[in-house]
Amino acid sequence: MPKRKQERPQLLGVKSVETRYLEDRQQLYTALKSLDRRSFMKVSAAALGATAGLSAPHGFQPISVAHAQTKQGKAQKFNFAYISDSHLYERKLNDRFVNQLMRAVDDVNALDPQPDFVFYGGDLAQLGQPKELELGAQILKTIKAPLKVMVGEHDWYFDMGEKWRELFGEPTYSFDHKGVHFVVLNSVVEKDFWTKRKLTPMERMRTVAGLDNGVQSSFTVGDAQREWLKKDLAKLPVTQPIVVFSHSPLYKLYKPWNFWTDDAEQVQAILKRFKSVVVFHGHTHQLLTNRIGNIHFHGLLSTAWPWPYAPEGMPELTVQMGRPDPFNPHDGLGDGLVTMHPDGMADMVYNLWNRNPVTISKKYMATNGKQAKPAKPKLRSY
């Protein structure tokens, strides 16, 4: 039997000369868009050489033009922290979750050096009540670093986002930071199940807050947001590092618990052309890791309660945390820190409150779990 020719393995973290050349060229083109005449004269020679394939690779790196920086800028390493899924109730009903959110805020405020920003992953409130959301906003105000927030279904379905918009603005937006393009989605859009059934806002909210009820439809990002996303990403080169925040996981894990986004494939298709995409999602309240082609998915920890793992469809990359201790209401909860690397890959740190921190490194993701495997927990999964 003839031996098949082995493909040369892609060396991790080492870019080939060709790759670097193409990336530089791409950067130059983006830079050209915002050049004034004088700077243009400076780079044009190099650029012409590059397009003709004449100049040596890396030929135009030294030329930096002061305002040739697009808003994407040059990618560089940075950290952001995250907090998610606090499910606050009114003070009369439950103050435990309030204490837990405050603990998370203390955690990120104690980080030294401070993260560039803190991301909140949704489900700030339990039943979308204005009082719950106000309480949450008040606590989040005490975060020292800049704050970015995303909406979850528990925040939305009482008044269809009215209070949310008043407190935090539009739920769908994008921003750029140190060379990474961030997109924040409202991924919990549901089909109207309430009008026909004549449900009150509270009944609607309670239905959505429940799982497994067969009444509500699955979460979607929806046509409108997908169109917006296409437009938002249209002008970006394939080398642009992309981070997407969605409340529900942007893949299909387990429908009965809504660990699921119904149009996940269509959203993935929009993201497919980019070299490196990282999706961070809330909603699942557990260590959860997945990779579909170029897209890496990381679930965020909750500060309220941990969910058990889905009985089927678990992604293989996930390092499942052991069953939380029923005697310790903080077990299986926490917050965390993400380090973004210039190549658009992320190291994800789960800062668990009752256990040792777990790091899901970019190396682990890039090697499909073959290297840099986090230690297996002693406790059995649940």
Partner 1 sequence: MDFAGQQSLLAPLVKTPEVVVPAGIAPAYWEKLVPKDNPGTQAQVALGKRLYFDPKLSKDGTVACATCHDVSRGFGDGRNTSEGIGDQVGRRNAPIVLNTAFFSSQFWDGRAATLEEQAKLPIVNPIEMGQPNGAAAVAAIAKDATYQKQFQSAYGRAPNYDDMGRAIAAFERTLVFLNAPFDRFLSGDPKAISPAAKGGWMLFNGKARCNSCHQLNSSSPLGTDNRFHNIGVSARHQDFEKLARSALTSLEKDSSAAAIDKLALETDLSELGRFVVTRNRSDIGAFKTPQVRNVGISGPYMHDGSLQTLWDVVDHYNKGGETNTYLDGGIEPLALSEAEVDQLVAFLFALTDDRLSAQNTREQKRQATLAKKQRPFRDTKRANREVLPFEAAKGGK
Segment 238 to 257, residues that bind partner 1, using CB under 8 A? none
> Cα separation of 353 and 97, whole Å?
14
Residue 360 CB, nearest approach to partner 1 (Å): 18
Query: Residue 95 or residue 166: which is nearer to partner 1 going by CB?
Result: 95
Residue 351 CB, nearest approach to partner 1 (Å): 7
Nearest one of 13, 62, 65, 5 to 41, comparing CA atoms: 65
Residue 335 CB, nearest approach to partner 1 (Å): 11
Report the residue from 1, 54, 110, 234 that binds partner 1 according to the rule CB under 8 A.
Answer: 110
Residue 280 CB, nearest approach to partner 1 (Å): 21
Segment 39 to 78, residues that bind partner 1, using CB under 8 A? none
H helix and E strand count, the chain: 10, 12
Query: Residue 304 or residue 317: which is nearer to partner 1 going by CB?
Result: 304
Nearest one of 23, 28, 18 to 63, comparing CA atoms: 28
Residue 353 CB, nearest approach to partner 1 (Å): 5
Report the residue from 12, 15, 51, 106 that binds partner 1 according to the rule CB under 8 A.
Answer: 106
Report the Cα 45 to chain-centroid distance in Å. 40
Residue 359 tokens read as: 């790091």
**Long-range CB contacts (within 8 A, 24+) of 4-13:** 12/363, 12/366, 12/367, 13/343
Tell me the angle at which helices 130-140 and 96-110 cross, rounded to the nearest 10 degrees: 20
Residue 110 CB, nearest approach to partner 1 (Å): 5
Residue 228 tokens read as: 């917006």
Strands 147-149 and 242-246, sheet pairing: unpaired
Q: Using CB under 8 A as the criterion, what x/- string covers residues 134-163 for binding partner 1? A: ----x-------------------------
> What Rg do the C-alpha atoms of the chain give, in angstroms?
22
Segment 303 to 362, residues that bind partner 1, using CB under 8 A? 327-331, 333, 351-357
Query: Residue 159 or residue 335: which is nearer to partner 1 going by CB?
Result: 335
Query: Residue 70 or residue 359: which is nearer to partner 1 going by CB?
Result: 359
Report the Cα 347 to chain-centroid distance in Å. 12
69 HSE (CA, 13 A, CB side): 11
Residue 354 CB, nearest approach to partner 1 (Å): 6
Size of site (CB under 8 A) for partner 1:
26
Residue 356 CB, nearest approach to partner 1 (Å): 6
Residue 289 CB, nearest approach to partner 1 (Å): 21
Query: Residue 109 or residue 218: which is nearer to partner 1 going by CB?
Result: 109
What pairs with residue 305 in β-bridges?
none
Query: Residue 177 or residue 330: which is nearer to partner 1 going by CB?
Result: 330
Contacts of 83 (CB under 8 A, 6+ apart): 101, 104, 105, 108, 118, 119, 120, 121, 303, 335
Query: Residue 310 or residue 358: which is nearer to partner 1 going by CB?
Result: 358
Nearest one of 299, 292, 180 to 243, comparing CA atoms: 180
Segment 84 to 103, residues that bind partner 1, using CB under 8 A? 91, 95-96, 98-100, 102-103
Residues forming the site for partner 1 (CB under 8 A): 91, 95-96, 98-100, 102-103, 106-107, 110, 112, 138, 327-331, 333, 351-357
